[in-house]
Homo-oligomer: A and B are copies of this chain.
Amino acid sequence: MHSLRFTAETSSTGVLERDFIVGEVTGVLWSPASGSDHSPLVLMGHGGGLHKKTPGLMARAHDSVTRWGVTVVAIDAPGHGDRPRTAEDDQARAEMRQAMESGELERFESISVRYSTSLAERAVPEWQATLDALQELPEIGAEAPIGYGGGMSLGTAIGIPLTAIEPRITAAIFGGGFFAHEALIEAARQITVPVQFLLPWDEEYVDRRSVLALFDAFAAKDKTLLANPGTHRNMRWVGVDSEFLVRHLGRAGTSPA
């Protein structure tokens, strides 16, 4: 088992930000500067081609830490952020870009599904190793409730298979923006913890029916679909149940409702 090594630390507006490494995985932990004794741990995923400190992800992380006192962790997916890119990464990205530019949506879909499935196969055990290492930290331990805090597209393509096999995750937020291929639907069928699912209604790359079939597949009795008008990169979320995770995980110093 790899242990966790902190590599940098900064603090601003009440939020402590610590970069870390677990094995080859680069990650970041945001927690209340005032301390975080076994407070809920929220895992956040980034979108394809992005990284663990993408502005939108950081904004959500800071908001969660300051509003609810939870701890948030994000890691770079393989070939993303501070991690080395392999020839396979470069080739897949070049092919996706080319397919998109020439308007070959089916080819884009097939490369995207193949590449993301390969990424998810590597990322799921990396998330599990990261959780193992985080639970060794005294302020987290085995007591901190754990939820998957979302991320569209790649964050969901990784989060769904992770949540399907990881019993430590007890509530999850997923989102659209990714092709719901058969393996992903199969994984969704294994998920029984509460799910909140965010759908950009006018998503231009992914057939809406495919994403609705994914929501349909979750075995969770407590699942909510929320759709707002907007496209893949241009969303304005309205009416979201922002208390979803803390309701299921509890907030710092409290038990779940």
A residues in contact (CB < 8 Å) with B: 196, 199, 201, 212, 215-216, 221-229, 238-241, 244
Contacts and interface: CB of A to CB of B under 8 A. Distances in A.
A199 B223 CA distance: 12
Contacts of A225: 199, 201, 225-228
Given A224-B226, A225-B226, A226-B224, A239 B196 contact: yes
Copy number in this complex? 2
Contacts of A215: 201, 227
Contact of A239 (B212, B226, B227): B226
Contacts of A212: 212
Contacts of A223: 228-229
A93 to B, nearest CB: 33
A46 B216 CA distance: 28
Contacts of A238: 222, 224, 241
**Which of A225, A239, A241, A244 is the most central at the interface, judged by chain B CB atoms within 10 Å of its CB?**
A239
A226 B227 CA distance: 7
A228 B224 contact: yes
Nearest to A221: B229
Nearest to A216: B201
